[in-house]
């Protein structure tokens, strides 16, 4: 153990279909569309590995009927073996016109985050070890995120920061800096290119950073046919290549699926990662 190299990892969840889940990555997205919508994501990381990460998120967001603002809320649950994170957040966003059809949205999310360690699921080398008793340890702290989102008719770009308070968590009846939430930063962007009346090509990117984890870049492109069916591929640096497929029914109901193929050493021990997205778009309540 003394010769083991340093290990680093991000605390926030990963999404291969981030372009369909942009609200949970940037609170400023709330209110940028003319309608309310629901998004639900389930991700199963590294299938075949015992106690691998599993993430579930559910969000609702949309605009004020007459004012340039938006509201939203989301719940997220992230489980890895005996550890879990559960958060509930509410969002307020306000957007202004910059020039012509270009608008800038500013958003803030605030909520509570629970981090939990289930000691009953941990097998100790020494049954008499007092460091971790057979009980559940839980720490609940306030949490917040902030975002900027600029968008036009066929493009968008945004920046956001999560876990702003960088709280220390109380674990084993001790609150210290070793059990600390790290602020995560996201930079995203995308563009829609119409090719005739039937096809649309949509490249997108997501850049993630938190200290001391190296910068991670997601590059994505999908092709949509008749505004109904899409196929795509995504590359996540030092992690995986993902294949995406989806369907839109009556421009209202959304279904998406992605399969990640690992490109790092852990690929030898799992059969890939799966992610499912479901969504509902409601009728327009606002006309610009």
pLDDT at 173: 57
For position 194, which CATH number holds?
2.40.160.60
Cβ–Cβ < 8 Å for 147, 26: yes
pLDDT at 121: 77
pLDDT at 21: 84
Against a cut of 0.75, is the pTM above it? yes
Cβ–Cβ < 8 Å for 144, 164: yes
Please report whether residue 102 resides in a domain: yes
Query: SS3 for 6?
Result: coil
pLDDT at 287: 64
pLDDT at 3: 54
Q: Which of 58, 49, 69 is nearest to 23 (CA)?
A: 58
- Tens of each residue's pLDDT in the chain, 288 residues: 455 555 556 678 889 998 888 999 999 999 999 999 999 999 999 999 999 999 999 999 999 999 999 999 999 999 999 999 999 999 999 999 999 889 999 999 999 999 998 877 777 666 666 666 677 888 999 999 999 999 999 999 999 999 999 898 876 655 555 578 999 999 999 999 999 889 999 999 999 999 888 899 999 999 999 999 999 999 999 999 999 999 999 999 999 999 999 999 888 899 999 999 999 999 998 765
Please report whether residue 5 resides in a domain: no
Pairing of strands 83-99, 69-80: antiparallel
pLDDT at 87: 96
Please report whether residue 8 resides in a domain: no
How many domains would you assign to the chain?
Answer: 1
Print the domain residue range for 273: 18-284
Query: SS3 for 152?
Result: coil
């Amino acid at each position: 153990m003394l010769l083991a190299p340093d290990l680093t990892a991000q605390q926030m969840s990963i999404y291969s279909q981030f372009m369909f889940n942009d609200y949970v990555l940037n609170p400023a997205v709330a209110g940028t569309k003319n309608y309310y919508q629901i998004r639900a994501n389930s991700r199963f990381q590294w299938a075949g590995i015992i106690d691998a990460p599993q993430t579930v998120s559910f969000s609702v967001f949309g605009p004020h009927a007459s004012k340039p603002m938006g509201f939203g809320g989301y719940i997220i649950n992230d489980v890895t073996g005996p550890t879990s994170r559960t958060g509930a957040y509410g969002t307020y966003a306000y957007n202004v016109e910059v020039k012509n059809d270009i608008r800038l949205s500013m958003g803030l999310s605030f909520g509570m985050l629970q981090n939990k360690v289930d000691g009953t699921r941990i097998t100790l080398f020494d049954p008499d070890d007092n460091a971790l008793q057979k009980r559940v340890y839980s720490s609940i702290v306030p949490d917040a995120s902030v975002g900027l989102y600029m968008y036009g008719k066929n493009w968008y770009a945004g920046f956001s920061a999560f876990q702003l308070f960088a709280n220390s968590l109380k674990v084993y009846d001790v609150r210290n800096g070793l059990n600390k939430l790290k602020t995560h930063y996201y930079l995203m962007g995308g563009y829609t290119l119409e090719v005739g009346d039937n096809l649309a090509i949509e490249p997108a990117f997501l850049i993630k950073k938190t200290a001391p984890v190296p910068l991670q870049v997601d590059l994505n492109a999908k092709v949509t046919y008749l505004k109904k069916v899409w196929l795509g591929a995504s590359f996540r640096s030092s992690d995986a290549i993902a294949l995406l497929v989806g369907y839109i029914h009556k421009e209202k109901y959304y279904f998406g699926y992605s399969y990640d193929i690992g490109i790092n050493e852990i690929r030898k021990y799992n059969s890939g990662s799966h992610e499912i997205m479901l969504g509902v778009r409601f009728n327009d309540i606002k006309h610009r």
